[in-house]
Each structure stands twice: as C-alpha cells, then as structure tokens.
Chains A and B, each alone.
Chain A
C-alpha cells in the first residue's frame, strides 16, 4: 500500500523537526511504502527549511490558505499520483506518528472505509482536555449526528486517513472554513463510509490553537451553520451527479 503522509504546517519550526524524525522511524507492514509531504502554509519562520533538511517533499504555498487549503493541496497530490491513501498529520506534533499503524488498520479490512478518523474520545478514551473544549466537541457531535447522521466522537480531529474515494471527492471539493467537522458532513452526503479508531494524542508541541477564549462560542455558532450548509451543498451536488 502506497501511503502519503500530508503534514500541514504553519509556523511550526518548534515541533516539525521532531515530528518528521518520528515519522522517519515509523515501521509499517511489509509492502507498505510511506512518503511524506509537508505543506508549508505560507510560514514566516523556518518551517520550510526544516522540512527540506529532513529530505521530505515540501509544498510551498505562496500565502496562508488556512488548514483547509493546505490539507487539500496535499490530498490533491495523493489523488493525482495515485497513492492508495493519504494520512493527515498535523504539523504541531499533536498526532504521534507511532499511531499510524492503528489508523491504517481499517483499510486492510475486506470492506475498507473511505475515511478513518483518529479519535481521542472513542470508547471513552482518556485524553485530558478543558471543559470548554469537551463541551464544544460534544456540541459538534450532536450537530453532526442530527444534520448528517455522522456518529463521530471527535469531530475536530485532524488525524485522519483518506481512502481513494475520499481523495477523489476532496480533490474536487473540500471545505475551507471549518474543514474537520465540515468534511465529515460532506463525506457522508457523498455516501462515503466513515470509521473511527481510538488513538492517543499529545498536547501540541508548538504553535497556538486558532480556537481560544471568547471566540470559542462564536466559533460554535459559525461551525454549526457551516456544517448545515456544507451538508446541504454536498447533498445537492450528489443528487445532480446521480
């Protein structure tokens, strides 16, 4: 299986070197080939240089597109170069590469899912998080369940595996506003199979969360609306194509 690891990174010079070192040490099953592409999302620090020094492929976006645009650029490469799947692994070091094998395991099943989401909370996972963050996550779970009938325990997780059908879909259309939860709704509307796997995650090794403070509540309102609209748009699109 040819696997492309897509690492979106924006000003991640602190965490990226260690992350790429860990990735290089990952051992997968025989016959699996792992390639890595760092998508430098217009960083102003040494992110690009650090990635290049490690000998991985570097995609240099001329300006900051946000996580959605950066991830889609990586997924486009995976789709066009006919990789069997792509793994999204955030450049801030939250996602331990040692969990890759666990995340890829569902793709070896007889009927593999199209999208595998690594979850901190699946099966009552013991990941420590703030009350507000857990509350926000719970709200998104409810919204996704009601609107798109997606049962996800960690909808904001960016630790994911995209199978060929998901790569084809997201090469064509990918949500830029709130990509993680929205993409679940889009995938469901397009009839993709979504699975969840419990994974361990770490605190971010560097950088800052884009969702903090009072913006959290505003974020929830916006993301709820975005999920609804993304689902409606994707449903309409699927109907037109059929």
Chain B
C-alpha cells in the first residue's frame, strides 16, 4: 500500500519562496496603486489580506502542511487550492457588491444630472425669451 506523501517537508527546492516573492511583488504593486490613488485602501484591504494569507502559506510551508494535514487534506496542493478558491470567491463577492453599488449610484446620478440639465436649459430659454 502506498504511504501518504510527507508533503509538508519542503527542504529541497525554492518554489515556495518564488511564489512568496510573487505575492510580495503583487502587494508592492497594490500599495503603489493605493499611494497613487488609482485604487482605494478601503477596497483593497480584502485583496491584501488574501495575498498575505497566500504569502504566509508559501513562506512557512511546514506550518501550512501541518495545518493541511490536521484538516484532513492528503496533498498540500489541494489545501492550497481550496483556500485560494474560497478566498477568491469571497473577493469576487465583495467586488460584485461594490460594483453593483457603483452601478446603481451611476444610474441615479445620470438621471439626476439629466433632470437638472433639462431644468437649466428650460430656465435659460425662458430668460432669453424674456429679454
């Protein structure tokens, strides 16, 4: 019978550090975008938290492996993918809520703008007629 893989032993290879570095790079880019006010801090918090979780998982694979083992995952990559997919689903939901709010506000603003513009045009036309 095949023995379970000792999947939390990451003594060899540097793949985890490469992945951790990639997460760090994305965090750095995100922070740069926040500083330049291209994205808001409020909206980026959950994304940064997501990257932090993945980064920690990559930086300390032994601990991640033990957690995965304790949770009953036979292979650590399964645990990693499950965690990533769950976090991505939460992120997507959050983005959807934000987008829907913005969309509804955009509709209301467009309508209000048009109504005010029409009022203004009529008032100006009346003024011109009075003169």
Contact = CB atoms under 8 A, between A and B. Distances in A.
A65 B110 contact: yes
Nearest to B109: A62
B127 interface: no
A73 B122 contact: no
A62 B118 contact: no
Contacts of B110: 61-63, 65, 69, 73
A80 B112 CA distance: 12
A37 B115 CA distance: 11
| Residues of B contacting A: mostly | helix
Interface string B109-125: 01101110110001000
Contact of A65 (B111, B115, B117): B111
5 contacts: A60-B118, A61-B110, A62-B114, A65-B111, A73-B111
Contact of B115 (A69, A76, A176): A76
Nearest to B107: A69
Contacts of B118: 37, 57-60, 77
Interface in B61-78: none
Interface string A49-77: 00000000111111101000100110011
A40 B107 CA distance: 14
Given A60-B117, A61-B111, A73-B114, 11 more contacts: A39-B114, A57-B118, A57-B122, A62-B110, A62-B113, A63-B110, A65-B107, A69-B107, A69-B111, A77-B115, A176-B107
Contacts of A59: 114-115, 118
Contact of B111 (A37, A57, A58, A76): A76
Chain B interface extent, by class: under 10
A60 B113 CA distance: 9
Interface in A64-99: 65, 69, 72-73, 76-77, 80
Contacts, number: 35
B91 to A, nearest CB: 23
Contacts of A37: 118
Q: Which 9 A-B pairs have the closest CB atoms?
A: A73-B111, A59-B114, A69-B107, A61-B114, A59-B118, A61-B110, A65-B107, A60-B114, A62-B110
B17 to A, nearest CB: 47
- Which of B107, B114, B117: most chain A CB closer than 10 A? B114
Nearest to B122: A57
Contacts of A176: 107
A61 B111 CA distance: 7
A76 B118 CA distance: 13
Contacts of A57: 118, 122
A65 B115 CA distance: 14
A69 B105 CA distance: 12
A62 to B, nearest CB: 6
A145 B111 CA distance: 32
A58 B110 CA distance: 14
A99 B110 CA distance: 31
Contacts of B114: 39, 59-62, 73
Contacts of A65: 107, 110-111
A73 B115 CA distance: 8
A62 B107 CA distance: 10
Nearest to A58: B118
A39 B113 CA distance: 13
Contacts of B122: 57
Contacts of B107: 65, 69, 176
A186 to B, nearest CB: 15
